[in-house]
Structure 1
């Protein structure tokens, strides 16, 4: 049985990945600052807590994993430190020979092939700039990482998040680092279908050291 450890496994994306992985019979462990309560707690997930800014917690998080998923966000104590934390996580994954799945943001995608990423342009909303730039720095760090590190960096569509959860359709498009738009000019993906795309890649690996976009 493949064992997946999700860092940030109680957040919006992390919990969706955990739910999808559980439905396929994977072993799932979640590391987060606090454990969920009530209906937010998924039966079958092993919940562990601790601050991932601490080296000993990061070291514990990789023990027993086959695949390491980082669904961390640059908020709270991770704001200003998430690039460093994910760099250390990547180093641990490489040392242990684990596959690393990194969940990033929409703005690390490109509007068209060979164009600058949205995060590198002038149109970043100031209120989101710190988060966007930190997540883009994580991508650049991975792309510059040593060849032995096996990673995939996923960027969701523009309309993605708890504010637009959508529905599980069982379909999605997956591609390189260029954004997908539908026939109406929208770029969207539900939480459930984004998680499905990620777990599909974990179950049937077909990309290595790649930046992938997911949308309808």
Structure 2
């Protein structure tokens, strides 16, 4: 059993990860700005700012950062995730950063989607998350065990509900598409992939991608 601390644990991604991790018997701690609408049984909740994560990450085996760069959080991820990196490096915890699809590439060696033309409504978020990835690649503390996770293109509270399949595909920094050219994954299966990665790491100091 591991202690898994989720920063942003009451959002779409954080809630699904909390549910999956708790169902497997892990000790789960959540830090978020607000109380959960429907608390997950067995999860310990802290309310506060991601700028002060110490109380939620003390003793963690894995720290999962799920903050979205929207609203009041826009423009904050760089400093917040650097602080989490410092804390994780000092304690030996694994840092799992939930990024975005736009940090993937359409083909090996091609520019990342976020480096090209991104629809205006998604551009700021995509570029901020991509900047986080670049910062980890170039400046992550020596010895920090980190992984940057990119979901499929159609993923999140806005996407059509997907019934859990119990399976998923694993990629690196190149986007995965199905036979019809679609890229999607449901909340439950993305959370399964995250907890699987915590339990049995497949990538270290690198990017990983989950899709159907």
Counterpart position of 1:151? 146
d(CA) in 1 for partners of 2:185, 2:13 = 12
Q: Is this contact kept in 1: 2:31–2:53, CA < 8 A?
A: no
Counterpart position of 2:48? 50
Query: In structure 1, the residue corresponding to 2:53 is in which secondary structure?
Result: helix
Query: In structure 1, the residue corresponding to 2:121 is in which secondary structure?
Result: coil
Counterpart position of 1:132? 126
Counterpart position of 2:32? 32
How high is the TM-score relative to the length of structure 2?
Answer: 0.96
| Structure 1 residue 43: Cα displacement | 1.0
| Structure 1 residue 167: Cα displacement | 1.4
| Structure 1 residue 76: Cα displacement | 2.6
Which of the numbers 107, 119, 144 marks the counterpart of 1:112?
A: 107
d(CA) in 2 for partners of 1:163, 1:34 = 20
Q: Residue by residue, what CA displacement relative to the aligned partner does 1:55-98 show, whole Å, maximum 9, x if unpaired?
A: xx222222121110001111232111111111111111111111
d(CA) in 1 for partners of 2:19, 2:82 = 26
d(CA) in 1 for partners of 2:26, 2:54 = 22
How high is the TM-score relative to the length of structure 1?
Answer: 0.94
- Total equivalences in the alignment: 210
Structural RMSD (CA): 1.0
Q: Which moved more, 1:137-146 or 1:3-12?
A: 137-146
| Structure 1 residue 204: Cα displacement | 1.1
Counterpart position of 1:200? 196
Counterpart position of 1:178? 174
d(CA) in 2 for partners of 1:159, 1:108 = 14
Mind listing any 5+ residue stretches in structure 1 that lack a counterpart?
none
Q: Residue by residue, what CA displacement relative to the aligned partner does 1:84-141 show, whole Å, maximum 9, x if unpaired?
A: 11111111111111100000000000001000000001x2011211111110011011
Q: Is this contact kept in 1: 2:85–2:141, CA < 8 A?
A: no
